[in-house]
Amino acid sequence: MGFRNGGAAGACACGASRDTPMWTTIKLPRTQQPIFPDRCVACGAEHPGEASFVPYSRPPIPGLFNLSGLIAVKAPRCNRCRRTDLKKAALLIPVCLASLAITALIVLTLLASLVELAAVVNVVLPQWVLVPLLLVIACASVMPTWVFVRWLRPQAIELGPSSGDEVDFRFRDAQYARDFEALNMLPADDPSRALTVAQAETDSGLPHVALVGDVYTILVTGEQTGGRYALIDMFVPPGGGPPPHRHDFEEMFHVLEGEVEVLFRGARSAARAGATVNIPANAPHAFRNVADRPARLLCLVTPPGLEQYFLEVGDRVATRTGPLPVLDEPARAERLARAMRLAPKYKNEFLPPP
C-alpha cells in the first residue's frame, strides 16, 4: 500500500485547473473492498444520492471494466452529478453512430480502392485480408468515441491498472484522498505513545477514587489510549453502586468477583462473577451490590471521559479497597452538588429513583 502525488493534464468536476491539477495516488490490495468517504467523489457534496459505478478514465475499451486486471467499484455520486452524467451520456449515442458511419465509410472506401486496384493489376485478394480490415473498422469506430468520452467527462477519480497485487486509486481532490486513505489504510506507528502496564494492587501511581461508597481505580486513561477508551477497576462494597443515570458513551463491565444487581430501563437482572454486561449509550441504568460481600468490576468506557469525571468529583484514597473517607452531612451535600454540576460536562445525567 502506498500514497503519492503526481501531475496530470485534464479537468475535474470540482473545479480544478485544466492544465496542471495534481493527482494523489493511493495503492490498495486487489482483494480489499474500498470504502469511500460519504461525499460525492466528483464534486465533494456532503449528501450523495447513491453509489454508482465510477467510469475508468483509461479503459482498454469503453464500457468494459474488467479487462487487463482492472476492477469496477462503486463510489458515492450526488444526484446533481449523476444528472449531469446522464445528459453528457446522451451525447454519446449520436457520436458513436457518427463515428461508426464515418470510419466504416473510410475503411469501405479503402477496401473498394484495394479491390479496384487488384482488378487492374489482375491480383486476387486472399480472404485473410478481410479479417484485419474488419478489426481496423472496429478499432477505428471505438477510438474516436473513447477520445470523445475523455474530453466530455474528465474524471475526479481514476482507477489505474493493477501492478501485481495492488490497484492504483488516483484522486484530484487531495482532501478526499486523505479521507479515503484514513478509511482504507492502517496509519503508521506513533512512537510517542508508550506501553501501559497497570497493577491495581501494587502500582502506587494509580489514582484510587472514592465515590458513592465505591472505590474506582483508574487503570488506563483516555490520554493513554489516544482518546479511544478508558479502563477502570471498581470496588463495590455491599450496598454500594451508583444511582440511576445515563450517559452518552458506551459502558461495559466484567464482574471479576461477587455479584451486582443491574437495573436497565426499569428491568432488574443479576450479574455474577464471570458475567460481562454492556450498557448502550444514553440508556437509563444503575447497578447495586445487594450481596453480603464486596464485588469487583472491570469497567471499560468508550469514548473516555468517565475517569476524568471520577477524578474531579471523588476523593482520593490510599488503595483499591479504601479505606473510605468519613464524611459528615455538609461534606456529602457538597460532593453531591459537585457531581450534579459537573455531570453535563462529561455527558452524564442523573435520573430519579425507580
The verdict on 39 and 123 lying in the same domain is no
Provide the CA 159 distance to its chain's centre, in angstroms: 20
Tell me the pLDDT tens digit for each residue of 97-128: 777 777 777 777 777 777 777 677 776 666 66
Phi, psi of 162 (to 5 degrees): -75, 150
The total domain count for the chain is 3
Partners of 319 in the β-ladder: 322
The verdict on 260 and 277 lying in the same domain is yes
pLDDT at 129: 65
The verdict on 273 and 323 lying in the same domain is yes
Instruction: Quote the CA–CA distance of 254 and 277 in Å, as a whole number.
Output: 6
The verdict on 246 and 326 lying in the same domain is yes
- Please tell me the pTM assigned to this model: 0.66
Instruction: Quote the CA–CA distance of 193 and 224 in Å, as a whole number.
Output: 7
Q: Which domain holds residue 137?
A: 93-145
If you compute the radius of gyration of the chain from its CA atoms, what whole number of angstroms results? 34
* Average per-residue pLDDT for the chain: 80
Tell me the pLDDT tens digit for each residue of 298-323: 999 999 999 999 999 999 999 999 99
The verdict on 254 and 120 lying in the same domain is no
Instruction: Kindly tell me if the per-residue pLDDT of 192 is higher than 80.
Output: yes
Of 41-50, 226-235, 264-273, the poorest mean pLDDT is in 41-50
Looking at residue 240, which CATH number applies to its domain?
2.60.120.10
Phi, psi of 315 (to 5 degrees): -110, 135
pLDDT at 130: 64
The verdict on 224 and 130 lying in the same domain is no
The verdict on 124 and 161 lying in the same domain is no
Instruction: Quote the CA–CA distance of 73 and 301 in Å, as a whole number.
Output: 37
Confidence class of residue 14 from pLDDT cuts 50, 70 and 90?
very low
Residue 190 lies in a domain: no
